[in-house]
Every structure is written in structure tokens, then in C-alpha cells.
Structure 1
């Protein structure tokens, strides 16, 4: 079951279903578990559907990058007993994926990836931009996808 919600945190006198220029944002916290990876992919697909981006040509790229970033966080960035946060944003021009974890280190693309080191290489090829930001504790690894003229208008669709 998919629930499409839009949280607006500023005072807004417009009707509930009236369009705004504010970005849509969804986030979810996951445990340090392999099961979090498919759950995060599903969460991303549902967010894109809620934002009217079901037929968007880059939706599979977003899903794959979510999978790779969450996998890296689970394997390398989340200390035992901690979790990670996946945040997705859409502002009609850009889809931004952020994975927040409390682990140390700075992820980087490997020059010659071995069997398991291709995740960030894929992200660097598929996304328009990607990077690592600081947070205390830990880091946020992010990537962005330009929507261009392909995206549909944001139309929240209640629950379905």
C-alpha cells in the first residue's frame, strides 16, 4: 500500500491541494540490515510515483543509486546498533537522494574496483552530480538527477 503525503512546514494559507513551489521531501530511517536495501529501493519507487515521475526515463537510475548508496551505508558507514536515514527531495527540476549515516570515513570511487567496489562508480556515472557532506556524527552521501522537461507536475495523490 502506498501513501503519498506532502509535509509543508511553513505557514501556508492556500488550499490543501493547491500547488506550491516548495520542494517535496520524503525520508525514512532504516536499520543496519541487508533487508534495508530492497526496502529503500521500494521507498524510492513509491516517492517517485507520488511525485508523478512513474514514467520518467531516469527513475531506474534513481532506484539503482538508492540501492548502491544504502548498501554502502549498511556495509561501511553504519556502526553496529545504529541506523541510516534516506532522504529524497523533488522540486520539479531536480531529484536529490541523500543517505545519512553516523560512520566515519569518506567514500570515494575506486580507481580499479574489485568485485564489490563498483557502487560509487555506478553512482558517479548515472547521477548528474554526487558528493559527500559532513554531519555530526558521520556523513551524508548524496546524488542529484536533473528532471528537465521530462517530469510531470507534482500532484499529491492522497493514499492509494
Structure 2
């Protein structure tokens, strides 16, 4: 049996290492959700992008480097990813602060994956995305 692949939408943007870019990352996320017609969990997604972008700046973005915010939408899920170039998975444990506790509490799923270089911290929310 051939498994059907669900069509997905994707947008991403790079942000420089600056505390001011957290607000810009929120705005990018809000604009993307508006274009996609996502209203379900909108405020939670905006909260999570703030927390994950702040963690990337605090633990993972070296001077002169960038972090990336990626949103992936399907008919049933919105996934938010924040990629940084920092080593290892430091700053991705629940005990490291309140940010990930918030992400864990409001999202359906979350996790962290190693990249080369750095890591990707992600969270997912179920709900309809207008395609």
C-alpha cells in the first residue's frame, strides 16, 4: 500500500543575534498564521516563538550568527521550529528555565534535534490549517 503524503506549507526566515529580533520573529509568525488562516492555538504559537527565539539567543547564537524560525503547516498540524548554531543541546532541558516549561504546557508535542551546526527546538499544535 502506498502511503499518501500530506501536502504542507512552509515559511522560514533568518534573524540576527539581537534581543530586538524576538518581536520581529513574533511578527513573522503572526503574519504567516494570518496568511494560512490559522486561528486555532494562535496565541500559544506566538508565545512559543517568543520563548524559543529567546532561548536561541541566550544559549545558541554566537556573535555574528543568525537563528532561523521555520513554520510548517499541514491540514492537521502547525509545527514551529527554531534553529540555532550553538553546540549540543544545552538550554533544551526543562530544568534550564521557565521557557521550555511554557512550551511543554501549551503545545501538543515538543522536542529538540541536533543539527550541524547547532540544534533545532520544535513544537507542534494540532488544528486545521486552511490550505
Following superposition, which runs of at least 4 residues in structure 1 exceed 4 angstroms of deviation? none
Number of positions where the alignment pairs a residue of Structure 1 with one of Structure 2: 124
Partner of 1:102: 85
- SS of the aligned residue for 1:140 comes to strand
Partner of 2:58: 75
1:94 & 1:78 partners in 2: Cα distance?
28
Higher strand share: 2
2:84 & 2:40 partners in 1: Cα distance?
29
Partner of 1:4: none
Partner of 1:144: 124
Shift of 1:44: 0.6
Structure 1: unaligned runs, 5 residues or longer: 1-20, 155-160
- SS of the aligned residue for 1:143 comes to strand
Which one of the candidate residues 5, 11, 17 is aligned to 1:32? 17
Partner of 1:122: 102
1:105-154 C-alpha deviation (Å, 9 max, x unpaired):
321101xx7xxx2100000001100001011011000000011xxx3522
| 1:78-97 aligned within 5 A | 78-97=61-80
1:102 & 1:121 partners in 2: Cα distance?
22
TM-score under structure 1 normalisation? 0.74
Matched, 1:133 2:113: yes
Find the structure with the greater CA-based Rg.
1
Compute the RMSD of aligned alpha carbons. Answer: 1.2
Partner of 2:3: none
Shift of 1:57: 3.6
Structure 2: unaligned runs, 5 residues or longer: 1-5
